[in-house]
Amino acid sequence: MTNTKTGDADGPPIPIHFEPGLWMHVPATTTDPVIGDSLVRMASIPHGTTINAQCLAPMDSILGAPQFQPVDITPFVINNTNNKIPFAAQTATQVDTPRLPQDLTDFIAKGTITQDILNDPNTVLSNAIVGQDITSFFVFTVSTTPIGNELGGGTANIAFLQGATIAAEGQTQTGPNANAAAMQATFWIETVQYNITVPPFKPGQVGTSSMARFLFRILIL
């Protein structure tokens, strides 16, 4: 939870909407359909949408660190991605929007929430890997739009979100209302290399120290 006193995310937790769902790893099949391993994200979002997003499981890792392409969270008119409708809350310096917290001054100063992050949320991912020695990574994108006939996927919405075309007082009113037509999400699984400095173990030193327990876990792994 954002903490307006510190500008960090160390505030007391509060209840938020719960998104039930799960991940599935579907083993390869040789008949009906013939398909390799796949990954599936199933979820039910409380505003009235359920999703099944699927992709083939990545087989090969990629050397080096991932490059995160910019993304835009600006809403757009349904079926017209070029007709965008910016929200006032997307301006970091605005203090009179429905956004909570409204005043981001301390967050901007600390760099935890900035205009760059609001413009491109993937900035958080790019910042997170600065200084890390990433040797390789896997990447995959689950989507509700099948990339082939052998893959499933899709969205389902409640009637209110789907909307309708009706005649009212001589005028035609056309839905939908925030209908979720498609969804996709990209994930990166990285291998990070780092050095651990292990101090010398002195005779008589208690073996249940935090360092000893840490080394024990490493040996077990």
Assess if residue 202 is contained within a domain.
no
Q: Summarize the confidence of residues 68-97 as an average pLDDT.
A: 90
Q: Tell the residue number behind the tokens 């995310």, with chain if given.
A: 9
Assess if residue 219 is contained within a domain.
no
* pTM, entire model: 0.78
Cβ atoms of 59 and 68 closer than 8 Å: no
* Region for residue 48 given its phi and psi (left: phi exceeds 0; alpha: psi -120 to 50; beta: otherwise): left
| Structural domains counted in the chain | 1
What integer pLDDT is reported at residue 208 of this predicted model? 52
Pairwise CA distance, residues 30 & 99, whole Å = 50
Helix (H, G, I), strand (E, B) or coil at 20: coil
What integer pLDDT is reported at residue 170 of this predicted model? 64
Assess if residue 74 is contained within a domain.
no
Assess if residue 97 is contained within a domain.
no
pLDDT higher than threshold 50 for residue 2: yes
pLDDT in tens, 160-208: 888 877 666 666 667 777 888 899 999 999 999 988 888 887 787 765 5
Assess if residue 181 is contained within a domain.
yes
Assess if residue 69 is contained within a domain.
no
Q: Range of 177's domain?
A: 1-60+137-189
Assess if residue 36 is contained within a domain.
yes
What integer pLDDT is reported at residue 221 of this predicted model? 45
Q: Summarize the confidence of residues 58-72 as an average pLDDT.
A: 95
